[in-house]
Structure 1
Amino acid sequence: MADRAGAGRIDVHHHFYAPEYREVMESYAQMPAVRDWTLQRTVEEMDRNDVDTAMLSLSPPGIHRGTAEKNRNLARTVNDHAATLRAGQPNRFGHFATVPMPDIDGTLTEIDHALDVLGADGIQLMTSYGDRWPGHPDFNVVFDELNRRKAVVFIHPLEPDCCAGIIDWVPPVLSEFTQDTARCVYSLLFSGTLARCPDIRFIFCHAGGAVPVTAGRAELMGLNNMFVEHLPNGIDHELQRLYYDVALAGSRPALAALFAFVPVSQVLLGSDYPFGATADPIRGLEEFGLDASDLKEIYRGNAERLIPRLKA
């Protein structure tokens, strides 16, 4: 497989499956998209859609269900696996390293290993961990370290424990993923984490989930005195400096909400492969009526500014 380098697209939301991770995914592992994943198929999908580089990350459920020791070992194993894939084709792959949250000490250790030893391009978190969302004060030390490092932080949604199977005939990717993205964003916002950590470059999935259509309500909440001290720069400033990929969000209504909410500079191409087809968000963006310069920024330029090593 050629390690091409050029001016093609960058996909910031692209999943991979180390053998050890598939073993612990339980019901997820039976899904054809996961069971049949191979590196060869990944590269073929990229080539079909003029994707030069895919940023590799884990799909749900993430690494937080087992014991602390098991989670630490699994995080190290999958991160080392991703680093091996990237080393084989450094122009084709990047890597957002996973961490064993909510294990704070284990997470800090893995951040050091991922960024300093493996050279990962960023850190991946999930939108919630048990009954805690990322804005919880228990996680402050983690975000302070990521802020010190000026890290890229990719946050992927999942079905939170609070709402598991809440409507058993509705897939959680519809009823919960978009909502848990909003819970995560607002937990970071109203806890003051976003204001306290201005140097973290956050990426949220699926056009921000429910965030673009609920941001107006957040503005009203921001007028409440109990939140003012956590919002010294205002709500718009914090929410509109975040980055949002368009994985599984190529429909006109989803894109209209996103582009009414943030400028083009904050939008990134994402596929959610193998669960999503890369062609879908590309088609949606092309049909939305953006000009060529805006598409170029979404397809590549914005990601290059986030991760300078990707510059052609």
Structure 2
Amino acid sequence: MTTPPTVDVHAHVLLPEIEAMVDGLPGLAEARALDARRNGPAALAVNGPMVRERFPKLTDVTARLAAMDAQGVDVQLVSPSPSHYHYWADEESADKVFRLANEATAAHCSPAPDRLRGLGLVPLQHPQLTAPALDHALECGLLGVEISSHAPGRELSDPDYEAFWSRAEETGAVVFLHPFGCTLDERLDQWYLSNSVGQPTENAVALSHLIFSGVLDRHPGLKIVVAHGGGYLPTHIGRADHAWEARSDAGSGCAHLPSSYLKRLWFDSLVHDPDVLRELVRVAGADRVLLGSDFPFDMGADDPLGALRAAHLPDADFHAVRGGNAAALLRIRKD
């Protein structure tokens, strides 16, 4: 029996050329001001030095591969930093952003194609561009795209995204759901609550829209990978099940118990708690959890395999999460 490679599905690349391209465009200053209000001054003071310290791992392939070797990771699924979403951009600018992101990510991965696989971006603020942007990512040799939990004025349940979901299902593309920003705004602007509370909240809200609206009923073949272990939803799915059974308004949009849809999704292992990881494996299934580190950011796991070992999963489940599930999903073989 061949041992599967160790695969980290949650790793990022920083693309300075995108920031250079959008610099000075109408809407950028307003978007940065909103981000500042949501995070608060203390978080912004920490973020800059943190990113600068990790800049080589975020941009240099040699530094990335050396870090992967130190972690014992064979393959990374590399996605653009969520700071590159720029969902404020107009249609013309958004077209340039996704094309540059797709091409630059592919270029970053190209020196080590056996170890680095990539994801691109789609402009959720312009639903009519999402399917073409997905096609462009695939044409660049990427495995799919990364999206946030929402776009301004639009949830993932928006009917205007149906063409995108259909195309993702048809092509077998991976869709990596990774929130950026939280709509609770200034309520979370201290103590880095914008991330520690905001990210798992956004994950839970986005997944709930996909489940309760029937998106996963209409597109059962979607390959959606959810960052941060799906946030709060998997460990609190019982409340969603109760609402679906107790209230006609909650149960009108999806055909089955909400908890059943967890087994149609994939989740990364980045939950920062071995008990929570074991619960995620229980409710989603050992075949639906993938190793994830949020490489190389400070809210990630410097030792993702160590975090996985701490959950004391059965040996078969450990190796499935370590890489077997991702190898099957991404069609990766270890030579």
Counterpart of 1:72 in structure 2: which amino acid?
A: D
- Number of the residue aligned with 2:39: none
Does 2:185 correspond to 1:164?
A: yes
- Number of the residue aligned with 2:269: 246
Tell me the CA shift for residue 227 of structure 1: 4.2
Matched positions, count: 304
Q: 2:9 aligns with which of 5, 8, 12?
A: 12
Matches within 5 A, 1:1-312: 7-23=4-20, 30-33=48-51, 36=55, 37-39=58-60, 40-61=62-83, 62-115=85-138, 117-160=139-182, 162-171=183-192, 172-223=194-245, 224-247=247-270, 249-276=271-298, 278-310=301-333, 312=335
Tell me the CA shift for residue 237 of structure 1: 2.2
RMSD: 2.2
In the alignment, is the contact (CA less than 8 A) between 2:278 and 2:313 conserved in 1?
no
* Counterpart Cα distance in 2 of 1:18 and 1:154: 18
Q: 1:17 to 1:124 in 2, by over 3 A?
A: same
Tell me the CA shift for residue 44 of structure 1: 1.7
Tell me the CA shift for residue 259 of structure 1: 2.5
* Counterpart Cα distance in 2 of 1:118 and 1:136: 27
Tell me the CA shift for residue 310 of structure 1: 4.4
Instruction: State the secondary structure of the residue aligned to 1:33.
Output: helix
Counterpart of 2:13 in structure 1: which amino acid?
A: F
Tell me the CA shift for residue 137 of structure 1: 1.9
Tell me the CA shift for residue 7 of structure 1: 4.7
TM-score (norm 2): 0.84
Tell me the CA shift for residue 226 of structure 1: 3.1
In the alignment, is the contact (CA less than 8 A) between 1:7 and 1:52 conserved in 2?
no
Q: 1:78 to 1:250 in 2, by over 3 A?
A: same
In the alignment, is the contact (CA less than 8 A) between 2:291 and 2:322 conserved in 1?
yes
Q: Between the two proteins, what is the percent identity of the paired residues?
A: 26
Counterpart of 2:215 in structure 1: which amino acid?
A: T
Tell me the CA shift for residue 240 of structure 1: 2.1
- Number of the residue aligned with 1:3: none
Q: 1:7 to 1:149 in 2, by over 3 A?
A: closer
Q: Deviations over 1:106-161 (max 9, x none)?
A: 2222111111x21211221111111322112222221122122232211001223x
Instruction: State the secondary structure of the residue aligned to 2:97.
Output: helix
Counterpart of 2:263 in structure 1: which amino acid?
A: Q
TM-score (norm 1): 0.89
Specify every segment of 5 or more residues in structure 1 that has no aligned partner in the other structure, as ranges.
1-5
Instruction: State the secondary structure of the residue aligned to 2:147.
Output: strand
Specify every segment of 5 or more residues in structure 2 that has no aligned partner in the other structure, as ranges.
24-31, 37-43
Counterpart of 2:141 in structure 1: which amino acid?
A: G
Instruction: State the secondary structure of the residue aligned to 1:260.
Output: helix
Between stretches 196-205 and 15-24, larger displacement belongs to: 15-24
Q: Deviations over 1:215-261 (max 9, x none)?
A: 011101212323445322432321222111012x2322321331232
Counterpart of 2:276 in structure 1: which amino acid?
A: A
